[in-house]
Copies of this chain bind each other. A is one copy, B any other.
Amino acid sequence: MKPYAERTREELESLKLQLKSEYRDYQSKGLSLNMARGKPCTDQLDLSMGMMDVLSSDVDLTCEDGTDCRNYGVLAGITEARELIGDMMENPAECIIIYGNSSLNVMYDTISRSMTHGVMGNTPWCKLDKVKFLCPVPGYDRHFAITQYFGIEMINVPMTSSGPDMDMVETLVSSDDTIKGIWCVPKYSNPQGISYSDETVRRFARLKPAAKDFRIYWDNAYGVHHLYDWDQDHLIEILAECKRAGNPDLVYKFASTSKISFPGSGLAAIATSPNNMEDIKAQLAIQTIGHDKVNQLRHVRFFKNIHGLVEHMRLHANILRPKFEMVINTLEQELGGLGIGTWTTPKGGYFISFDSLDGCAKQIVAKAKKAGVVMTGAGATYPYGKDPNDSNIRIAPTYPSLEDLHTAIMIFTLCVKMVSIDKLLSVTPENDS
C-alpha cells in the first residue's frame, strides 16, 4: 500500500469521497458498539460461575486455622487467601494484605493515608507545599484521576518499548524531594501492553530517591493475564529485587482478581515490606475490623491453588486471544503501509495502543462516536486528559463480541483514514484553505 503522504492531492481527494460514502453506510446502521473500557465480556464472566457453587449451607465456612469466616476479624485476610494471592503476586503470604473488591480503592487509600498521616513517620503530604508524581505516558486514566484529585502535580515520563524512560526517572527522583511516587503498570501495561525489561526493573529497585517517603506504585494489574501459553512476558519480581538492592521499603505492589473472577466481586491486595505493612496496618485497624472473609474463602475454594488459577487464566486467554489477533490483523490489513498510524501488539493485558498522526486522535474518536463506536476518550491516557501530540488512542477489545469488534475496528480504521487525509490535505503546500 502506498503511504498517504506520498499520494497526490487528487488521489487523496478521490479516496476521501469513497471513504465518506462507506462512513455514511455505517452511520445509517445506527450501531452502538463499545471499545472504551477494559471490561471482561460475558463469556469470561461465565468462566467463574462455579464460584457461586463452592459455598453453600452444607459447607463449613471455617478456614484452615479454625477461624469462622462468617464473623468479625482477621485484618490482613485469611491465611489461605493470602497464600493464593501471594502465589499469584509472587510474594510470600506474610507480605500480603487482602482488601475488599477493588485495587483502585487500595491505591486511593494508600495516597489518602499518605496525605493525612504520611509514609512511615514522614510529614503528611497535606502539610507540604508541593507533592509531585511521575506518570509514565501513555498510562491509566484512573491512576491519574487519583493523583489529580489530591492536587498532586503530575510529570509526564515517556514510555519506551522497555518501560518508562529510566534516565529521566532516575534524574528526577534523585534530585527532587517533592516527587513522592511513580505510577507503574509493569506488565502488559495499560494501554500499550508493554512489559518492563529486566534492566528497567533493576533500575527501579536501585533508585536513590531524594524523598525518604518516595514509593513506587507498582500496579501489577495484568500479572497473570497472558494471551499465549508459551509466548509470555516475564517480570523480575520487584519486592525481592528491591530487597536485594538494599531498598526493601521502596515499593507498594497492587493486584486484584477483578479480571480473573468477577470484576467488582473479586479480591484486591497489596504486597509490600514488613515496615510498610506495619505502617499500613496501624491505619487499617482504625478503618475497618476486616474485609470480606467469606469471599476470600470462596475464591480459595474455587481456584484451590495457583495452578487452578493459572488454568483458569488459560480459559480467559482462549476467549481474548482471537479478539486481540483480529484487531491486530485488521489494523495491519486496513492501515499497514499507509503511514498514518502505529499500534502495539501485546502478548497480554487488556489493551492495544494506537498512535495516529499528530493532532488527529480527538477527531478520530469523535468521528467513530458519530458512527456508533465508543472509544476511550482521546487524551485519557495522559495526566489532566492532555495528550500533547493528540495522537494516542486506547483500544479495549475485550468486551464486544468478535463480530461487533470487527465492525467497530473497521469503522475505527475508516475514521483514521478520513481524519488523516484531512490532516494531510490541510498541511500540503497546495492547501487551498
Contacts and interface: CB of A to CB of B under 8 A. Distances in A.
A14 interface: no
B288 A102 contact: yes
Contacts of A70: 45, 48, 262-265
Interface in A55-108: 55-57, 59, 61, 68-74, 100-102, 104-105, 108
A418 B387 CA distance: 75
A353 interface: no
A262 to B, nearest CB: 4
Contacts of A127: 126
A286 B145 contact: yes
Interface stretch (A34-42, A244-252, A273-281): A34-42
A112 B117 CA distance: 10
A392 B432 CA distance: 88
A19 interface: no
A294 interface: yes
A31 interface: no
A290 interface: yes
B283 A149 contact: yes
Interface in A228-280: 258, 262-265
Interface of A: 37, 39-40, 42, 45, 48-50, 52-53, 55-57, 59, 61, 68-74, 100-102, 104-105, 108-109, 112, 115-117, 124, 126-127, 142, 145-146, 149-150, 258, 262-265, 283, 286-295
18 contacts: A39-B71, A40-B71, A42-B68, A52-B55, A52-B57, A52-B61, A69-B265, A72-B264, A74-B264, A102-B289, A102-B291, A104-B287, A104-B289, A115-B126, A146-B286, A264-B291, A265-B293, A265-B294
Given A37-B72, A292-B292, 18 more contacts: A40-B71, A52-B61, A53-B56, A71-B262, A71-B263, A71-B264, A72-B263, A102-B290, A102-B291, A115-B115, A115-B126, A124-B126, A146-B286, A146-B287, A263-B289, A264-B289, A265-B295, A295-B295
